[in-house]
Each structure stands twice: as C-alpha cells, then as structure tokens.
Amino acid sequence: MLWNTQTYTGWGRALSAEGELARPERAAALAGLVTHPAIGARRSYGDACLNSKGSAVDMSRLDRVLSFDVSTGLVEAEAGAPIGELARLFAPMGWMPTVMPGTGFATVGGCIAMDVHGKNHHVDGSFGSHVTAIKLMVNGKPRTITPKRNAALFKATIGGLGQTGIIASATLQMSRCEGTGMEVTEQRAENWEEHIALLSSSQARYTVGWLDCTAKGKNLGRGIVEEARSTAVRPQSSHKGGSKSVPFNFPRFTLSKAMVSGFNKAYYLRIRDGGQTRIKPLEEFFFPLDKIHNWNRLYGKSGFHQFQCVLPDDKLPELRAMVETIAQSGLASPLAVLKRLGSDAAGVMSFPMQGYTLAVDFRESEKARKLIKKLNAATLAAGGRIYFAKDSLATEAEAKAMYPDWAAWAAEVNKADPEHTFETDLTRRLGLRSI
C-alpha cells in the first residue's frame, strides 16, 4: 500500500502535521513519487520536515550503500542511509563521514538539506563541502549534479531544505580515522570567560562545550569542554551496554528547575579538577544521546523547542547576554551546547558562519516561546542567524534578514521546482520561496 495517513512531528514534537506519507522500499517505487517533498529521519526539531498542506515521502527505507572505495574513502549511499550507520560500517576500515551532526540517526539526505555541521566545523567545514555528487530526481529520473558542473543548483541544494527536489543518493568524501575509538579530554570551565578561552584556544579537530544554562552570577557560562581525536585504541567494553528507550511521555516535574540544576551540577562535578582523558566508542562521543531512544519524550506530551543561533566572533558580549537571559529565565533544560564555528558554508542557505553557536532546549510553554522569540530578535540584532533545522518560531522578516541571499536561492529553487511541490511548513511559514 502506497499511502498512509499519519499525524507526524519533528524531533521537538511541539508542531505536527497530518497528511499522507509514502515509504518506498525500492528506487523504482521512488520514481513515481517525485512530486512530493522528501523527509528523512525527522530529526530536525521544528517544521522543516512537515507538510501539513499535502503529502510527503518518507525516505528511511532507501538506505543502501551503493559503492565504497576503501582506497579513496568515497562512499555513495541512498538518501535514507543514517550517517551513524556509515560510521559504524566504515570506521573499522579506517574511514568515517567527515562531518557528523549530534545524532547518528540523521540521514544523508537530511544532512545535505540542512548542510549540518559537526564538532569539527572549525577545522573541516560543513557537511556539503564533502559531498562530491548528488543524484537529484528530476522529472522522475535521477540526474547527477556536482559542485563543478552544476554550481548554482548544487549550492541551492546544499542546505536547500529539500526544495530543489528529492535527493535519491549522494557521494561523500569520508575522512581517515584511526579506528572506532575517540580519545576524549574533558575539562571544567568555571565561567563564561574560561569557557570561551578554552574553546577558542583548542587545537583539537573535534571540540564542543557543554553549557550549564542554570548557573548564574560568577558561575555564568560554567561548563565542560570536550576535545577529541580519533584513536586506534579500542574503547573499553564497559561503555557498551544496549540502547535504552524512553517508553512514555514524562510528567512535567521531570525537568523542573530543581531537577535540571541538580543534574547540571552533578554532571559538572563529575569531571576532575584538572580534567580527564578517556577512550570512548566513536558513537558515544559523536551521538551521546542516541543510546536513549525517544529521549524527546522526556519533555512530555507537548514537546519542546530548541533555540540555536550563531553569532559572529566579535559579538561575544551579546552571546553572553543571551546566556544570562536564559539563566535568569529558569526555563532551560540540561542540554545546552556551545561551539566554535569556522567560516565554511557550502550552500547558499547554510547555517554556519565564523563565530560561536549556542543551542538550548526549552520545554514547550508560552513563556518559552516568548523567550525564544526574544532570543531570535537578539540574534538578528547581533548580525547572527538561527538554524532552520531547529527553528519553529522565527518570523519571515527575521529569517530573510538573517539569510540575505535568500532571494537568489529562491530564484534558483523556483526554477528547479516551478510548481512549488516541495514546499514544507517551514518554507511556507518563513515565505522563503516567495520572492
């Protein structure tokens, strides 16, 4: 049976859509479905993966590895292949995807559509910079596009929110790795200044800061900075354990102020004063939450929002003020991330810019929405931008001001999709294709 009517959501679960979904199992079945937007693992948080005005194609069963060359590290995979699966398969042979987002469940197609970044963005750039070819479905047939031969269409497809058409498969240049282990060094940062100093001076290929958004006053900006490199040392098996699942929606008190602040304090104090170095399995470093399936249920039935912005390097005081506002609000969850980004952005609508990115979760509530709207405005005022993979609350005016090249992108996209068949709730909400 081709179509199934479902109510479905993004990872944040605060927004939902009802519509018909198809889930082709074979490329031949996809060929008949190319006039609907594609969705992947639905790991984007807001409405980028929703189409409440129509139908969508769930790409998760088109997940085959089509070719792999162990001498060059080039891999071609169908769009529904999870990025973490590529790491699992090829790390033992010395290759892993050059850029991996915070969840291994994100699909190759999704990583392209969002031009995702990883903990190594300051060194290796964004996902799209390592895509050497894309097979895009055009009029029911796959057409190969490359950065050289089809520069404009390619740049509109990378970070292009799926608007140029269904991505059938893509070829990625992976990077050499030593094995399946990561040597991870964790250090405490006592406050904002120390946190930024550690992030900016880090020489590691992989760097990420965990931020305690409940710490105030002299502790503001407190957190842990993780630096890592690939290692041939085998991780201890004690970390293995099976994956766990959150079986139901948690009640509201689970993430109450007291619980969050207590959790954060304990998490912080777990790191020894002088820092510590451990060997972790690759997936545990890159995808720390993937072991807990459905962790989004921790936020209860009504779901949550993630606010993620990037501000330019010279706007650190503004970023600090945002963190202060968040701390004062008492609305933040334990999961906040602070990262340095480099200047590389492979697509016209790519999120990354040289500077610092902050990502914070808020359980859905009117107060939280108000706060996020305030943070969105502050981001724009500071010359930064928010991440479409996370957004559900920005306004059209804000989005267009944050992404000044949107009109050029829209022109290219509207050429590829004159009927606007690939529009999603996000592109409609932000009017990204109405020139």
Partner 1 sequence: MTQDSKDTWIILGASSSMARAFVRRLAEDGHGLILTGRDKDDLARIAADCKARGASSATNFPIDARDAATFAPILTHASGLEGQLSCAVFLGSMPDQSEIDADPSLIDGVIADSFTGPAQFLQLLAPQMEARGGGTVVGIGSVAGDRGRLGNYVYGAAKAGFATYLSGLRNRMGRSGVHVMTVKPGPVDTAMTWGLGKQPFMTTSEGVAGDILKGLKKQRNTVYTAGIWRLVMLVIRNIPEPIFKKMSI
Contact footprint for partner 1 (CB under 8 A): 1-4, 23-29, 61, 64-68, 75, 78, 89
Q: CB under 8 Å, gap of 24 or more: what pairs does 85-94 form?
A: 86/172, 86/174, 87/282, 87/283, 87/286, 88/283, 89/65, 90/174, 91/177, 91/179, 91/180, 91/282, 92/179, 92/180, 94/70, 94/176, 94/177, 94/178, 94/179
**What distance in Å separates the CA atoms of residue 100 and residue 108, rounded to the nearest whole number?**
10
The continuous run of DSSP H or E covering 38 comes out as strand 38-39
How far is the CA of 297 from the CAs of 73, 210, 304, in angstroms? Answer: 37, 21, 9
* Contact indicator for 157, 348 with CB cutoff of 8 Å: no
DSSP 250: P
Choose between 28 and 258: whose C-beta lies nearer to partner 1.
28
Min separation Cβ 235 and partner 1, Å: 19
Smallest distance, partner 1 to C-beta of residue 431, A: 34
| 78 versus 412: smaller Cβ distance to partner 1 | 78
Count of CA atoms in the C-beta half-sphere (13 A) of 391: 25
Total residue count of the chain as it appears in this document: 435
Of 220, 148, 168, nearest in space to 64 by CA: 168
Beta strands in 343-398 (DSSP E): 355-363, 385-386
- DSSP for 152-170? HHHHHHTT-TTTT--EEEE
What letter does residue 348 receive in the DSSP assignment?
A: T
**CB-side exposure of 396: number of CA atoms within 13 Å?**
11
Whether 142 contacts 135, CB under 8 Å: yes
Q: Work out the number of other CB atoms within 10 angstroms of the CB of residue 273.
A: 8
Contact 136, 164 (CB under 8 A): yes
**Both structure tokens of 26:** 């074979």
List CB contacts of 153: < 8 A, sequence separation 6 or more.
Answer: 136, 145, 164, 412, 416
Coil, helix or strand for 129?
Answer: helix
Using an 8 Å Cβ cutoff, are 12 and 333 in contact?
no
Q: Let me know: does 189 contact 217? Beta carbons within 8 Å.
A: no
